[in-house]
Amino acid sequence: MVSEVNSSSSASVVTALESRVAKVDKPEPAAPTSAQTSSEVVKLTDLGSRLQALTQSVADVPAVDGKKVEQFRQAIADGSYQIDAEAVAEKLSNFEAMLSSGPQGG
């Protein structure tokens, strides 16, 4: 099907699209549901409770071990830090193989 596009019809299409975008961008507030207004209590299962505790304990661990960083910094500064090039190359090779094999492993 072929449609002719002229300035008056394209303007009406743009206006129609703009009104739809406005509706999507600004949804109407939802009416409160009975679950939102009631005083229901949520009880976690044992697994949920353990997962919550584990999540909190992991969040409490610092992302960087400052003591270890300082040890490496000192070893680099005094020249005692040695790099095992073969071990680095092997780990890089294994990592690349893992990436190329995908999540199924083959």
* Segment 40-66 mean pLDDT: 85
Taking the C-alpha atoms of residue 90 and residue 99, their distance in angstroms, rounded to an integer, is 14
pLDDT of residue 83: 93
Question: Is residue 42's pLDDT more than 90?
Answer: no
Confidence of residue 89 (pLDDT cuts 50, 70, 90): very high
**pLDDT at residue 84 is higher than 80:** yes
pLDDT at 5 > cutoff 90: no
Name every residue whose Cβ is closer than 8 Å to that of residue 81 and which is 6 or more positions away in sequence.
Answer: 72, 75
> Structure pTM?
0.34
